[in-house]
Structure formats: structure tokens, C-alpha cells
Amino acid sequence: MAAIAQDEDWTTRFTGLSRLEPRIREVLTSRSQVIRVPADTVIFGPGKSPENMLLLLEGTVRVQQLAENGREVVLYRVTAGESCVLTTACMLAYEDYSAEGVAETDIVAAAVPRAVFDDLVSTSKEFRTFVFTAYSRRMTDLFHVIEDIAFRRMDIRLAQKIIERADTGVLKATHAQLAAELGTAREVISRQLAEFQRRGWVTLGRGTVEILDCDALRKLSES
């Protein structure tokens, strides 16, 4: 996670933008602004549509759906090198959505103004492909979320999530946070984790889940 140099050509950090014609690259870098946003900032959400399309250079944005009763579910994450299409979506059209994007870490992003975005879409085939690919990927992500929620068992989903988000072998998250990830209730997570611990797959601590038997978790998550 290298820092961004002041005049670095960050376009090369995006798969899909690497082969832009120099002229387009110039437009993109010169007419957009690199911004920094602290962790936990709400980037967009009901009643807060951003002016710009964001291209994430560093950090991750968590996009989640909120329900009236306070429960949540994570839809997808935007990581460095990806664009936040939802931003584009509400920038260009529809506003009636109930999802919000939150900076999960401190963030560095290129903010591309609406007009520049439109210009680039119309003049660069590469950029068009980049944008449409981003849309498709998100759609696909949403399909997977729907499939998971509607048809997969909680234990399987939890095992999967633990593996996915525990890079070091220890996952730092409370049961409540995991519940919000998966769109379920905290008690459900507590009980499932207790069961995993009983089987010797994990050790639980306050705010942590330590993986003992990754293979067992993986096996469950693939069943």
C-alpha cells in the first residue's frame, strides 16, 4: 500500500485503465482531484449523493443495505483499483436507493467530476469498457448476495466469511459486526461461533475469532 505521489499517474493502478490513450489519461488525471477521506466517513447514502465518481486508490469502501429495524447486510466492498459504480449510478440518474457506502479504512481516491466522466465515456472505448465492467461486477456481486441470503445456510455463510476476512488467521470483529455483514441477528452468530469453537475449529475472544482449523471451515463453506 504505497503512498500516492503528488503527481503520480495513478491510472495504471486500475486494471482496465492501463491501456488508455495518453490524451485520455491526461484528461482523467488533470481534471480529477485526489481526495483523502478518514475511516468511517459515509461516502454516500440516502440523502447524500456525491458530486463525483470515485476511483479508489487506497483503502476500502463497504457498501451496505440498511433496514428500518436497524439490521444491516453488506452488499460488497470496493477495494483499491476499483471504481464505486453506485456513486456513478446516483450521480447520473436514480436517487431512490437505500444503500450506503462507508469508508472502512482511511481512503485515497480520485474524484472524477460528472462532466469529465461523461466526456471520458463518450471519447474513450477503454474507459467505457472499464465503467461497464465495473457495473457488471457489482451486479454479479449482488446476485451472489441474493443467492447467499435466500438459499444458503447460515453456518456455511459464516464459515466463508470468517475465512474471507481473516487474512492473518485471526479475525478482528465482534459478533454484532459479523451479524451485520451477513444480515442476520447477533445471537445467531454467537451460537454458530460457539458451535465452531465446540468443534475445535476456532477460539473465541472478545472481539476476535482465531482460526484453528481452516480446512474444516473451508470444507464446510464449500458444501
Partner DNA sequence: GGCCGTTATGTGACTAGATCACTGATAGGC
Partner DNA sequence: GCCTATCAGTGATCTAGTCACATAACGGCC
Q: Look up residue 105 and give its three cell numbers.
A: 479504512
Give min distance, CB of 210 to DNA, in A: 12
Q: Give CA–CA dist 154/195, Å, rounded.
A: 12
Stretch that binds its own copies, among 31-39, 138-146, 155-163, 165-173 (CB under 8 A): 138-146
Q: Which of 77, 190, 210, 214 binds DNA (CB under 7 A)?
A: 190
CB crowding 146-182: b at 16 or more within 10 Å, else e: eebeeeeeebebbbbbbbeebeeeebebebebbbbbb
Residue 35 binds which one of DNA, its own copies, none, with CB within 5 to 8 A depending on kind? none
Of 176, 161, 177, the closest CA to residue 211 belongs to 161
Tell whether residue 205 is a contact of DNA (CB under 7 A): yes
Position 55 contacts its own copies (CB under 8 A): no
Give alpha helix (H) positions in the chain.
22-30, 85-92, 114-123, 125-151, 154-165, 175-182, 186-198, 214-221
**Binding residue for DNA (CB under 7 A) from 4, 66, 121, 176?**
176
Q: How many CB atoms lie within 10 A of CB 41?
A: 12
Q: Is residue 104 at the binding interface for DNA, with CB under 7 A as the rule?
A: no
Q: Per rule CB under 7 A, is residue 125 in the interface with DNA?
A: no
* Residue closer to its own copies, measured from CB, 134 or 211: 134
Q: Are 189 and 175 in contact (CB under 8 A)?
A: yes
How many helices, marked H, and strands, marked E, lie in the chain? 8, 10
Chain contacts with its own copies (rule: CB under 8 A): 65, 67-69, 71, 73, 75, 86, 88-90, 92-94, 96-99, 118, 121-123, 125, 128-129, 132-133, 135-140, 142-143, 145-147, 149-151, 183
Chain contacts with DNA (rule: CB under 7 A): 69, 71, 151, 153-155, 174-176, 183-188, 190-194, 204-208
